[in-house]
């Protein structure tokens, strides 16, 4: 089995996000960037699938400026076999990204595409789903468990009602959730080895895709500062207060 894992470079989850003064997005200059944490879980899962003998090649792909190669190198140091960098400085939205990924999934003939359930920067939660639709293949989103049998994958999904078990035919798209695994620490010798692994660079034209954003952002604002809370003396007072605000029934 051949696995494609899609990774996105985002502002590190430890960074306190600041909105640009002109409202045109968030500040990324001089800010620490990392692999989207859900994508890291996807890479880890691919490695575990390979280590269990269920896959023989893991390809990682990332779309963006030259610097996304840092995140590809991290994935290669974790153990992925080779990378593909789609180089562009354009604003790439989920539909465009999924078109590129479709092209790569098809030309590489992969059996499984793993993605994070969403990227922590834009929180769109769309790319995996759009890719499955364009590819006309099954999808299983928010996977917190994943296993294989023959040409099928079984995923466990955490839904409001409990755990849903879904079986999909391969090739398929699976997006991963937080509790699927805990990504490994990368070892120094593996980081050095990763420098020798190949990263193929492609352009949008190579993939026959145009950036053509379909959604335009009107502005970005920081959330309102939190208001001071109110202290109450007794439980009765608390209940009254909540009732007055319509938060609990009388």
Contacts with another protein by CB under 8 A lie at 14, 34, 70, 73-74, 77, 185-189, 191-192, 195
Q: Which is nearer to another protein, 73 or 85 (CB)?
A: 73
Closest CA to 32 of 48, 57, 13, 5: 13
> What are the strands, taking DSSP E only, across 27-109?
33-35, 57-64, 82-87
Q: Which is nearer to another protein, 34 or 127 (CB)?
A: 34
- Residue 186 CB, nearest approach to another protein (Å): 5
- Residue 238 CB, nearest approach to another protein (Å): 25
Q: Which is nearer to another protein, 66 or 240 (CB)?
A: 66
Give the C-alpha distances (Å, rounded to integers) separating 102 from 122, 209, 221.
21, 10, 33
Could you give the CA distance from residue 191 to residue 53 in angstroms, rounded to a whole number? Answer: 23
Q: Which is nearer to another protein, 10 or 100 (CB)?
A: 10
- Residue 65 CB, nearest approach to another protein (Å): 16
- Residue 27 CB, nearest approach to another protein (Å): 20
Q: Which is nearer to another protein, 195 or 231 (CB)?
A: 195
- Concatenated DSSP letters for 137-167? --EEEEEEEEEEETTEEEEEEEETTEEEEEE
Q: Which two tokens stand for residue 144?
A: 């917190």
- Residue 185 CB, nearest approach to another protein (Å): 5
Quickly tell me which residue has 């379909």 as its tokens.
214
Sign of CA dihedral 185, 48, 106, 94: negative
């Amino acid at each position: 089995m051949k696995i494609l894992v899609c990774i996105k470079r985002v502002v590190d989850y430890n960074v306190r996000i600041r909105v640009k003064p002109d409202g045109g997005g968030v500040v990324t200059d001089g800010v620490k960037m990392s692999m989207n944490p859900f994508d890291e879980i996807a890479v880890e899962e691919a490695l575990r699938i390979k280590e269990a003998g269920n896959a023989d090649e893991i390809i990682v792909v990332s779309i963006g400026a030259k610097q996304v190669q840092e995140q590809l190198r991290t994935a290669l140091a974790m153990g992925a076999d080779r990378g593909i960098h789609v180089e562009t400085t354009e604003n790439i939205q989920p539909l465009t990204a999924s078109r590129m990924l479709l092209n790569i999934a098809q030309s590489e003939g992969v059996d499984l595409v793993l993605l994070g359930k969403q990227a922590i920067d834009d929180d769109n939660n769309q790319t995996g789903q759009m890719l499955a639709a364009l590819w006309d293949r099954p999808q299983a989103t928010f996977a917190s468990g994943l296993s294989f049998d023959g040409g099928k994958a079984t995923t466990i999904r955490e839904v409001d009602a409990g755990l849903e078990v879904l079986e999909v035919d391969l090739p398929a798209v699976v997006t991963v959730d937080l509790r699927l695994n805990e990504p490994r620490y990368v070892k120094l010798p593996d980081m050095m080895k990763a420098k020798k692994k190949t990263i193929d660079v492609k352009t949008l034209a190579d993939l026959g895709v145009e950036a053509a954003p379909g959604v335009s952002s009107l502005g970005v604002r920081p959330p309102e500062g939190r208001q001071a809370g109110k202290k109450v003396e007794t439980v009765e007072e608390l209940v009254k207060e909540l009732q007055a605000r319509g938060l609990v029934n009388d």
